[in-house]
Amino acid sequence: MSAIGELQRLNTSTGGPPRKRDTKAALLFLLPWFAGLLLITAGPVAASFVLGFTDYNLIQPPEFNGLENIQRMLTDERLHHSLGVTFTYVFVSVPLQLAAALGLAMLLDRGMRGLAFYRSAFYLPSLLGSSVAIAVLWRQIFGAEGLINQALGYVGIEGTGWISDPDTALSTLIVLNVWTFGAPMVIFLAGLRQIPVMYYEAASIDGAGRWTQFRRITVPLLSPIIFFNLVLQIIHAFQSFTQAFVVSGGTGGPSDSTMFYTLYLYQRGFHSFDMGYASALAWLLLLIIAAFTAVNFWAAKRWVFYDD
């Protein structure tokens, strides 16, 4: 198991004694980013924070109302409902999507016939993911007369209109999200390409099975990328907006069953002219996402391995 042994040595090496600071170089490399932070990001972000403590209808100047927006959150039943919808979505769709992406990435990574074709075919849906056409297309599958119900009809089952039934609407959006697994798949593929093939070769010669190879080589070496996809997909899922917006025609319906947090916040801000409250909601979302991300980073110390 020489290759794996070497690998583990690399993974556990701490990188030697602490090195001196590279302040000058860091400033140079971070110059565009700092400029963007100061000139583009900071102003609007700070403004949205301040607006969170105001009553702001977009047309008249904002008025400070102290902690009123925060008090409102405590009793806002639709907000609590939308949190429930969002958490369900995050916890179900992210693992499913990542599993699909990783599984197919590994399947497609090995040399096989028609590789490029499959890769492109699997990515194609992701290109459509937020298109205005998706609402119509999704009804062709999950609508009352869509593909699913036609298939069920052959075996004598009468299906519901999956998109417009409050009991199933959220599930169709989860399927939609899994369907567009192309983005994390491509990132996994790129990551798999960085794993030196010699490790597998050596392991194979040492007689390690595929499962062992997956656990001892793929997972550790791909872990920075798995971690990246996990963190970003969670952030992304918490902010999920476009698909629910397009499929439900902006309503989050039926009966608020697809009322994602961001969709609710958008409706408060733009449809109900309640931008002060919407801003406060956005900062609550930031806290929630930040907490999840922090936990993720903390947990990462146990399973993500870097070469540096």
**Contacts of other proteins in 204-223 (CB under 8 A):** 204, 210, 221
Contacts of other proteins in 274-293 (CB under 8 A): 274-275, 278-279, 281-283, 285-286, 289-290, 293
143 binds other proteins (CB under 8 A): yes
Round to whole Å and give the CA distance between 59 and 203. 66
Q: Which residues of 86-99 are buried (b: 16+ CB within 10 A; e: fewer)?
A: beebbebbbeebbe
Round to whole Å and give the CA distance between 65 and 52. 9
Task: Kindly write out the interface string for residues 95-114 of this chain, putting x where it contacts other proteins by CB under 8 A and - elsewhere.
Answer: ------------x--xx-xx
Round to whole Å and give the CA distance between 294 and 244. 27
Beta carbon nearer to other proteins, 193 or 302 = 193
70 binds other proteins (CB under 8 A): no
CA angle 139, 144, 149 (to 5 degrees): 100
73 binds other proteins (CB under 8 A): no
Q: Which residues pair with 63 in a beta bridge?
A: 55
Applying CB under 8 A, the site for other proteins has a residue count of 142
State how far Cα 244 lies from the chain centre. 14
Beta carbon nearer to other proteins, 70 or 235 = 235
**Residue from 141, 152, 206, 219 binding other proteins (CB under 8 A):** 141
**Residue from 249, 298, 301, 302 binding other proteins (CB under 8 A):** 249
Q: Are 250 and 257 in contact (CB under 8 A)?
A: no
21 binds other proteins (CB under 8 A): yes
Give me the least distance between CB of 95 and other proteins, in Å please: 19
State how far Cα 24 lies from the chain centre. 35
Give me the least distance between CB of 308 and other proteins, in Å please: 5
Q: Is 169 helix (H, G, I), strand (E, B) or coil?
A: helix
Give me the least distance between CB of 130 and other proteins, in Å please: 5
Round to whole Å and give the CA distance between 102 and 93. 14
Q: Is 107 helix (H, G, I), strand (E, B) or coil?
A: helix
**Residue from 1, 8, 62, 96 binding other proteins (CB under 8 A):** 62
Beta carbon nearer to other proteins, 92 or 251 = 251
87 binds other proteins (CB under 8 A): no
253 binds other proteins (CB under 8 A): yes
Contacts of other proteins in 159-198 (CB under 8 A): 160-166, 179, 183, 186-187, 189-194, 196-198
60 binds other proteins (CB under 8 A): yes
Q: What is the secondary structure of 115-145 as a DSSP string?
A: HHHHHHHHHHHHHHTT-TTHHHHHHHHHSTT
Secondary structure string (H, E, C) spanning 223-247: HHHHHHHHHHHHHHHHCCCHHHHHH
Give me the least distance between CB of 218 and other proteins, in Å please: 12
Query: Which span (79-87, 88-96, 131-139) binds other proteins, by CB under 8 A?
Result: 131-139
Round to whole Å and give the CA distance between 81 and 67. 22
12 binds other proteins (CB under 8 A): no
29 binds other proteins (CB under 8 A): yes
